[in-house]
Structure formats: C-alpha cells, structure tokens
Structure 1
Amino acid sequence: MYLSNPKPLLVMLLAAGLGTGSAAHAAVRLPALVGNHMVVQRDVPVPVWGWAAPGEQVAVTFRGRSYQATPNAAGRWQVALPATPAGGPYTITIKGQNTLTVDDVLVGDVWLASGQSNMELPLRDKNAPAPGAYPLILNAEQEVAMADFPQIRQFTVQKVVAYQPQTENEGYNWQVCSPATAGSFSAVAYFFARDLYQRYHVPIGIISSPWGGTPAEAWVSAEALQQLPDFQAPLAALAQRPARPATLEKDAQNTPTVLYNGMIAPLQPYALKGVIWYQGESNTGRGAQYRTLFPALIRDWRARWGSELPFLFVQLANFTKTLPLPGPSDWAEVREAQAQALALPRTGMAVAIDLGDPDDIHPANKQDVGHRLALVARQVAYGDKKVVAAGPTFQRLRVDGKQVRLTFTNTGSGLLLKSGTTTLSGFAVAGADGQFHWATATLAGPKEVVLTCAAVPSPVAVRYSWANNPLGNLYNREGLPAVPFRTDAPAGAASKP
C-alpha cells in the first residue's frame, strides 16, 4: 500500500470514537463538510446540519430566505434548503448564539468517490518519486498545469478507523480546483469531474473518501454485513471491542465496517448526485464472496442516503504477467462479480481491462478511467440514451457443429479489432472435459464473432479475456473494450445479486 501522506495514519490512532456530535459547546457549529467553497446538489432539497445547545433556536439563511431549526436533546439540528438550479456563488448564514458564514457556495452535482488506492491516487503526488509515494499518472505535470477549473471542487475525507458509526469527520476542507491545488485531487475523480463539467457546464463537487489497500467489507455497515454469513463471526468479535480503544491493531483499516463507520457514515445526509467506486484488488481470491458483498455495499449506501443513487464503478484493470495458456484467474472472478452487480438498477461499469500495467497495480492512465466513468454517468445518471457507454457485452452463444457463434450487445457502430492488431485474440473454448484451448476468432458482421478450435471439435463453453492480464482485443468502433466473460460459470455464480 502506498502512503504518500502520513498524516491520516495519526488520525487512525485517535479516531475510533471521533465525533459523537455532542453539544458540549453551546456555540453553533457545523460539520467540516459544510464549509466555504462547498458544492451542494442541484434540483433536490439540500440538508444542512450542525450542533448547538439543546433547545437553542438556529436560523439558516440562504438566497434571502430563513429556515428555522431547534437542536434535539443531543444538540443536533438540521434544515432542508429548497431545491435550487445550478448556480452560485451563494452565501449561507447560520445564526444562533453565534453567527457562522459559509461563503462561495456553488450549486451543481456532487459525487462521492470511494474505494481503495486506484481511487486515492492523486493527480500529482507531491512526494513522487520518493519511496512510498504514489506513482505519477500520465502527463502529470501538464495535467496539473492545465487544471484551472474553479467550478470543480474536492472535499477530502480524513482517514478514520471507527468501531461505531461516527457523526463527524474532520476532513481537509473544500478545495477549489486550480494548478495550485489539483495535485492532491483524486486523479480518477478529477478526470471524471472534468469530463462532466465540460459537457454539462455545471459545478461539480467531489467528496473523496478512499483508503488504499482496503477490502470492500471495511466499507459496509454492520447491519448490512450481518446479513452475509461470512461476516457474522467477525462482527460478533468486533462487538466485544471498546468503542474507544487506546490503540488500534495493525491494519485495523481492513476490519469489517470500520471505514463505513469512520469515513462514510459522517457524510450522511449530504445530498449526492451519485457514487463512483474503484475497488476490488484487495478482494481478489474471494470472487465468489464478492458476488454478494459488492451488491450488499451498494444497497447499504443507498439505504443510508434514502435514495437509489447512481452507483458507477470501475472493473479491475489488467495486472501481472500474461500467461501463455488459458486457465483460472482470481482477478477474472472478481471482474465477473463486478459485472454481475449491473443487475442492480442505476448501476454502471467502466471496463479497464486494457488500461492496466503488468508491473504496477496502480496504472498510470487515469484519464481514460475517468472518461469511461463519465460516459457511464451520462447514460445512468444524466439520462443520455444515445451515448455508447460500454464495450461489446456477451449476449448469447450458439454452437453450429464445430463452430461457436457469439452475439454481443453494446456494439455501438460495430465490432472491430484494437488498433494496431490484425488477429482477434483472447477467446478460449472447451468441450465437455472443461479443458480450455485458444480459439481462432473472426468477426462475422457488426455484432457477431465466430470461433473454431481444432483441439475442441465439440465446443460447449467459451471464455474471453479470462485472465489476470489477458490479451483480448475486441472493441466497438467507439473505442470501448469488450467486457470479459465466461459461459461456464459454476452454479450460483451467474445468479443476479
């Protein structure tokens, strides 16, 4: 795990009980997320909350109107600002025994960006290339120099391990995107936001809440994990721990629920447009478990926000050396589990099977990752029915003697081979014995591929790009790669989440 900024680790030692929302101080105060330069979600009611003395009258003023709130017994108060179209800058004033002013507030679209290191990796790590720093992305210096987008802002959530859900996360304040600040932005989230801003010309807010090297179960609430048998024993052990231990064990951030508690729960109920997620590397080797774990995470976050939020995710990129023969793959199994999550409504997947690096789990090309996520957002979150947002996707198989004919959806303007290649590759077929052999593949029209293999005269199953680092080169004419797949998934593996 790369750790370019050691400061968050200090928080880990103190934060198991951070932020209970106590109103011990009578002065009105706000969560760090509600602050100068923030972006709030357009076209929906906007929750604004904070703490004050119980029973104190709090008035929130926005666009010339005042909204009243009375703190509850715990001192928490909340108002809902009315749905507002994109625009700004505005000022929000909060008045109780003291007065707070939140300046330079924009109204636009707010996206929560989470996952592990490939979401955390910054546009330009200030410590690179020192040991322990994140590697540089493609053209990092030029990208930072051109990052002059004052209507794109990012709030970075502080790394916090917590054994119980927290109400506050101190965070690192909202940053306005400029060449002076953009280097610390999540690279994937920045390129995603830049694409959306350049298309829709509305402010884009990023709430960046990833932690490198962490598994999905750390990001799911205890209530949701309790429904999954694999996690009931760890949760029972977790319940015996003190809420505020003096120290945390090594790699405590990988414990089930702790990052949901410390880094997701405190963000609620901030209004969102949707979620972008890049994670899965730390769950390789547990692909079967991920088939239920990942959909549980999506459902959990949606339930917490009380909305069927668009949930967009990156399928794992290619990694490690390419093998000469077809065979099993832990990474392919997680990719399959990710693809199966598309059965949930308002989800979308950016395929990155061609963007990886065999020698680095952190591929440098984050521009195309962000762009492909933005394509998916246009379709899923913005209702663009014309955009081609995915590459060729397996639809059905038909055996015709010694041939296998495959039909694909999401073919856009038609199928083609990756630029610079002349032979369609990445397809393997098996007979009843289950032994896979490379197949000869040819395009057969705009939506079909035909396979033959002399070693398999009676084919029954097909795999495509089924490897940690496959060599598949099937694309659509819009430049998006085909989704890896297998037709021989074991019983239960192909079921919908």
Structure 2
Amino acid sequence: MPQLFQSGMVMQRGKAIPIWGKADAGEAVTIRFNKKEHTTTADANGKWRIDLPKMKAGGPYKLEVRGKNGEVREISDILIGDVWLLSGQSNIDVHIERVYPQYTTEIDNYENSNIRLFRVQNETSTHGVKDDIRPTSINWKPLNKQNAWPFSAVGYFLGKKMFEKNKVAQGIIVNSWGGTPIEAWISEDSLKADYPMLIKKTQMYQSDDYIRAQMQANGAANRQWDAILNQNDPGYADAACDDSQWTTINQNNWAWRGTGSVWLRQHINIDKEHAGKPARLLLGTLFDQDITYLNGKEIGHTYYQYPPRRYDIPEGMLHEGDNVIAVRFINKYGAVHFIPQKPYMLCFGDDRMSQNPMPKDVIPLDANWKMHVGAEMPQCPGGDVSLQNLPTTLYNAVLYPLAPYAINGVVWYQGESNTGNPAPYADYLKKLLGCWRDRWNDQQMPFVIVQLANYDGRQQTAFPRPITAQPEPVNSGWAQLREAQRTVAKADARAELAVINDLGETVDIHPLRKKEVSERISLCFDRLLYNNKVKLSPEVVSTEVKDNEIILTLDQPIQSGKIETIEVAGTDGKFVNATATAEGNRITILSPLTSPLSPLSIRYAWKDNPLQANIRSLSGLPMSSFEITIK
C-alpha cells in the first residue's frame, strides 16, 4: 500500500475514501473497516482500489487489508476528520524550530493527538510519474513540540487553528521544497502544448549516467575546494590570537566580495553577574556559511544564508572579563555580509530563547569587528544538478503519487522563485490548479493561494547600506507576481487569496510570523467551505471617473483616512503618485494627470516591499496590491 497508509493516519470526513495498493494480477483483496468488509480484484497490472463510503468525524478505527493467501496488513489508530495538503517552496518548509522564538510559550505548552503531521520526503523524477513517495520520518505523528520541531510552522498553526474551529481531527500533509519554481509542480500534459521548451529542458536530464557523473564531479570539486581552503587558512579562533592590527569594519556597511574565508573577531567584556551563566548568542542572519567560536571553542555552524544564527553557550563557558567571539565566514559566491535589522546580542536568563518579547537581560554586540582574510580561493568549479527546479519533476515524484487520497483543501504558498520572470506565472498557476484537480478527479477542489509577503531583495545585493525606500513608482517583479496570484484567485470560484503583504520582513525572504499567515489561510477556508459570508481582504468591485477624481468602490467598508502607495497612469502608461483618501467603502483618488484620462490605469502597493500600503478592512486585513485599467 502507498506510504500515506500508516497507523495514525487521518482520513477525510464527508467524502468517499479511496483505499488502494498493489497485489498480484487477479488477486482478491478484502478490506475490513468499521465492522464492514469490501472486496475487489487487482487488475492486470496488479493495481486495486476500494472506495469506502462517506463517514462522519470520529475514531480511532482499525483498517485490515487481506490478500488471497491470508496475509494481512493492519493499520490502527485511524481518525476521521479533515485533511489538508500544503505545498510550495521554502516558506511552507520553514520549521517550528525556526519560528519558535516568536511563540515560545504557545509551542512549549501545546500538544494535541487529534492533529497528525505527515511530511512528504523530497524526491524528483525526470522519467515520468511515480506510483508512490519515499518513506518519511514524519508519518502521521501526533502534534507535540518534539514531532513539530522539524515540521512546517504554517502546517502546525493551520492544524491547530482548524481544530479549534471545527473540533474534529486534523491531518496536515506538507509537500514542499525550498527554492523550487512553479513549473516543477505542473504535469507534462499541462505544459507541453504551450511550453514545449520547458519539457525539452527536463528531457535533457533523462540520462541517469549524466546526472550521476555530474553530481559526483560537483561533489568532488566541492570537497577538493574545501580541503585546499582548510589547508591554507591559518585559523583565528584562538582567544589569545593578536587581532590588534586587524582592520576594523562596521557590520552595517561592510561586505567582503572575495572567495574563500574571512575572519571577524569581537571582544566582549562579561561582568561578574553574567560570568559562567548559560547564554544564547544571537548573531542575526549572515551570508553565507559561518563557523562561530567563543574563546576558541566552536559554538555553532550554519551551512547557508537563510537560517537565523542562534547559538547556545553552555554554563561555565563565559568567564569574567574579556571574551572573544570569532566568526569564520566561508564564501563560494556573492558577497559576505551581515543582514541588518536582525538581533545581534548575548541573551541571558530563563527567557533567553524568546524573541517575542525579547529577553530582559541582554548584552548587545558592538557593530564594529576586527577583520582579517583567512585564505583567498579561486571560484569553486562545478555544475550543480538541481533536478527539483526542472519542469514537471516534482509533480511526477511527489504530487502524482498522493492522489486520490481524499483531502479537504490545498494550500499553495510559492512564487519567490518566479519573481525574476513573472509574466507567465498566471498561466502556470491556472495550469497547476487544473492538473491537480484533474489528478484528484475533483474540479471543486478548494485552493488557498498565499500571496507573496513584502520583502526587499535589494538587501542581498546593495552595499554599503542603508538602502533607501522606493517612494517613486517602480515596475516591481514581486508586485507583478502578486497580481498574477490575485487575478487567478479572483477568476476561480473555488480559490481564495490569503493576502500577507503586511506579514513579511524587509530583510528576510522567510518571515517568521507563520501563525498569522495560518490564520489568514483558515479564514479563506472558512469562506470556501463553511461560510461564504466571511469577509476577507477588501477588493475593488467598481470604478468611476468624475472630472479629475477616480472613485473606487470596494466590497466592504475600510479604515478611513489618507491612502498611501496609489499610482495613476494615463495614455502614455507612465505611473505617477496620486493623493487618495478612504471613507466607508469608497476610495477617492485625485488624479495628478494633465493628459487625457482614458484609458486610465491605477496601481496600489506596487512595490517589492510596500511598507506604506495602508488599505485595511475594519477587522484589519490588508488589501492586495492591484493594477486595474479603466477604459
């Protein structure tokens, strides 16, 4: 039977429940469930399927599957409730461990055996669809801190929220892969007619010998590069190292564009009160790889740029007087730098794990560091084979095998990897919704599309900082992709848009407020499944032009006052900032244009990081960015 069928599983209430697997061709298969037996025969290919009748929420139940020779597969502790499939890229992937400092008390004090977690194991296929997914370590585990630690934070909080609302078992299936484009999640049949070059791109990687050789060569190159680096780096972790003649840099406006290793050291004085106490070092977020030492001993190592650096210092390691923090950066591409607006400090006390609120007893780090190059290196050769980024490979390997497992709805949270070319995204997204519904043979399958959060990618590339805001109109790739998400959701009667352009972080593509994201998703499912009168983010329902005023009528009242980030363009297509005010369910825009107003285009929050955007419903939900044309 497929990997999804394991003890502890949750099956969907209120729908027929498909049970399927493989046997010998022509073999009789009998299922016993809830005191009833159901029998079928495997087809010529050995495939069999039985659809159990609809059931109400409840359990636990036991499922027995018996073959003709008397062998029995028994699956126990089955609950009937609601099952949700969450998919996309790394913002679905972000684990409870990453967001824990935001919600320490809640995560520490909550567990619920009626919420079960399932994580699909990553796999790719360039050779067509697979019958099943790989075994996974998170296979219908009950929700508690230990099981949730390496599990999706969005999935954790969504399961909790939906259980609180509906009081039935919740099954959360997470199927995501960081950095992947939407094309990887779409079927070949959906892409080949309109995008034949995408299919040819995947076909280039259908040689297993080539892939194996490329991966081996890439691994060998990396190992050799690391070995030469370590042979030539003198190492400056020792507390006794004399750094008095090193260059002083300020982390807020420093970047090292070399390849190899560079060392930073900072002396910090610890008073008698804090000496010997356990602590946590918050070292913000760094680019790219770091090994961090305290007084010559390693306290943490992070292998890539995105995770926050939170390194625990055991009792007795900090001594009174001078202590030395040394950071060894290892860089193979880009520019070494610190991410601004992140916490850089030593935290003490019982609340040192928390960042919401911040701990009461902290010693801030100095922004100034001593810097010295360890070993400069040539560029590391290699050509990584990232099969997960190729069209169709994830649909084939990890999406296709999940069907027809009965689910209640899908969360699609992806798009960051497509912002460089947002033009085809709306079409891709329509195709994804279509081919997934086809796979489940359910054209009414509900989708919640999580819109991209606010983020300023320039933080990764522009030095020195600080980076100024973008007060003038810009043609934002992030806004274009958000618009694709908005228009597709609006045109699909079984899709809703979760707007989160106020929950992002300027400097972090992985914002931490995942509980709030899940609350927005749950509201969308409320509207799709339970109560179509639920109010979501405000939307424009009509427009009117009167002289030099443009009036937008919304589907609900919004918070009154001056509106920011409204732009208007006339026949020349050049957008300029406009003054606008809100009252009731209307927005009045004073047109700054002197040219004819027809056709007229209006944009709102059209930026990567629209911090000033302020249209909100009376309940506080933000409005999506949009572009509309009045003819």
Compute the TM-score of the two structures, normalised by the length of structure 1: 0.84
Cα distance in 1 for residues equivalent to 2:178 and 2:563: 36
Cα distance in 2 for residues equivalent to 1:200 and 1:454: 50
Task: Compute the displacement of 1:272 (Å).
Answer: 1.0
* Residue aligning to 1:476: 617
Report matched runs for 1:68-467 at 5 Å.
Answer: 68-96=39-67, 97=69, 98-124=71-97, 135-136=98-99, 139-163=102-126, 164-172=128-136, 173-228=139-194, 231-239=195-203, 242=206, 247=212, 250-308=385-443, 309-320=445-456, 322-342=469-489, 343-382=491-530, 384-388=531-535, 390-409=536-555, 411=556, 414-416=557-559, 423-444=562-583, 446-454=584-592, 459=597, 460-467=600-607
Cα distance in 2 for residues equivalent to 1:385 and 1:217: 31
For residue 90 of structure 1, give the secondary structure of its aligned residue in structure 2: strand
* Residue aligning to 1:485: 626
* Residue aligning to 2:271: none
Task: Compute the displacement of 1:407 (Å).
Answer: 1.2
Cα distance in 1 for residues equivalent to 2:12 and 2:625: 35
Cα distance in 1 for residues equivalent to 2:93 and 2:145: 19
Contact 1:214 1:254 in 2 (8 A): yes
Cα distance in 2 for residues equivalent to 1:68 and 1:365: 48
For residue 4 of structure 2, give the secondary structure of its aligned residue in structure 1: coil
1:455-495 Cα deviation digits (max 9, x unpaired): 65765332100111112101011111112111249x9xxxx
Contact 1:332 1:466 in 2 (8 A): yes
Structure 2 unmatched runs, 5+? 216-383, 459-468
Return closer, same or farther for 1:488/1:330 CA change in 2, 3 Å cut-off. Answer: farther
Cα distance in 2 for residues equivalent to 1:297 and 1:454: 40
Cα-Cα RMSD: 2.0
Return closer, same or farther for 1:305/1:391 CA change in 2, 3 Å cut-off. Answer: same
1:194-232 Cα deviation digits (max 9, x unpaired): 21111111111111100010000100110111132xx20
Correspondence for 1:61 among 12, 32, 39:
32
Task: Compute the displacement of 1:239 (Å).
Answer: 4.1
Equivalent AA in structure 1 for residue 496 of structure 2: G
Structure 1 unmatched runs, 5+? 1-29, 125-134, 492-497
Return closer, same or farther for 1:274/1:454 CA change in 2, 3 Å cut-off. Answer: closer
For residue 142 of structure 2, give the secondary structure of its aligned residue in structure 1: strand
Equivalent AA in structure 2 for residue 349 of structure 1: L
Task: Compute the displacement of 1:44 (Å).
Answer: 1.3
* Residue aligning to 2:14: 43
* Residue aligning to 1:23: none
Cα distance in 2 for residues equivalent to 1:260 and 1:464: 34
Task: Compute the displacement of 1:142 (Å).
Answer: 2.8
Sequence identity (%): 35
Q: Which moved more, 1:234-243 or 1:349-358?
A: 234-243
Equivalent AA in structure 1 for residue 65 of structure 2: I
* Residue aligning to 1:495: none
Cα distance in 1 for residues equivalent to 2:613 and 2:594: 20
Contact 2:571 2:595 in 1 (8 A): no
Cα distance in 2 for residues equivalent to 1:465 and 1:177: 38
For residue 81 of structure 2, give the secondary structure of its aligned residue in structure 1: strand
* Residue aligning to 1:19: none
Contact 2:100 2:107 in 1 (8 A): no
Cα distance in 2 for residues equivalent to 1:296 and 1:363: 28
Contact 1:226 1:235 in 2 (8 A): yes
Task: Compute the displacement of 1:453 (Å).
Answer: 5.0
Cα distance in 1 for residues equivalent to 2:196 and 2:106: 45
Task: Compute the displacement of 1:92 (Å).
Answer: 0.4
Return closer, same or farther for 1:35/1:358 CA change in 2, 3 Å cut-off. Answer: same
Contact 1:277 1:314 in 2 (8 A): yes
Task: Compute the displacement of 1:278 (Å).
Answer: 0.1
Task: Compute the displacement of 1:451 (Å).
Answer: 1.5
Cα distance in 2 for residues equivalent to 1:455 and 1:225: 42
Contact 1:147 1:182 in 2 (8 A): no
Contact 2:449 2:496 in 1 (8 A): yes
Task: Compute the displacement of 1:277 (Å).
Answer: 0.8
Task: Compute the displacement of 1:52 (Å).
Answer: 2.2
Greater strand proportion: 2
For residue 174 of structure 1, give the secondary structure of its aligned residue in structure 2: strand
For residue 563 of structure 2, give the secondary structure of its aligned residue in structure 1: coil
For residue 564 of structure 2, give the secondary structure of its aligned residue in structure 1: coil
Equivalent AA in structure 2 for residue 466 of structure 1: W
1:405-442 Cα deviation digits (max 9, x unpaired): 11112x2xx2116xxxx742121223333332222221
Cα distance in 1 for residues equivalent to 2:545 and 2:498: 30
* Residue aligning to 1:16: none
Return closer, same or farther for 1:237/1:454 CA change in 2, 3 Å cut-off. Answer: closer
Task: Compute the displacement of 1:237 (Å).
Answer: 4.8
For residue 312 of structure 1, give the secondary structure of its aligned residue in structure 2: strand
Cα distance in 2 for residues equivalent to 1:212 and 1:255: 13
Cα distance in 1 for residues equivalent to 2:492 and 2:60: 36
Return closer, same or farther for 1:33/1:436 CA change in 2, 3 Å cut-off. Answer: same
Contact 1:154 1:174 in 2 (8 A): yes
Return closer, same or farther for 1:261/1:116 CA change in 2, 3 Å cut-off. Answer: same
Count how many residue pairs are aligned between Structure 1 and Structure 2. Answer: 439
Equivalent AA in structure 2 for residue 168 of structure 1: D
Contact 2:99 2:513 in 1 (8 A): no
For residue 136 of structure 1, give the secondary structure of its aligned residue in structure 2: helix
Cα distance in 1 for residues equivalent to 2:93 and 2:32: 35
Compute the TM-score of the two structures, normalised by the length of structure 2: 0.67
Equivalent AA in structure 2 for residue 462 of structure 1: I
1:283-337 Cα deviation digits (max 9, x unpaired): 1132220121100100000011000200111011111064121121101111111
Cα distance in 2 for residues equivalent to 1:253 and 1:140: 32
Greater C-alpha Rg:
2
Equivalent AA in structure 1 for residue 544 of structure 2: R
Cα distance in 2 for residues equivalent to 1:39 and 1:162: 27
Contact 1:113 1:208 in 2 (8 A): yes
Task: Compute the displacement of 1:264 (Å).
Answer: 0.3
Cα distance in 2 for residues equivalent to 1:61 and 1:392: 49
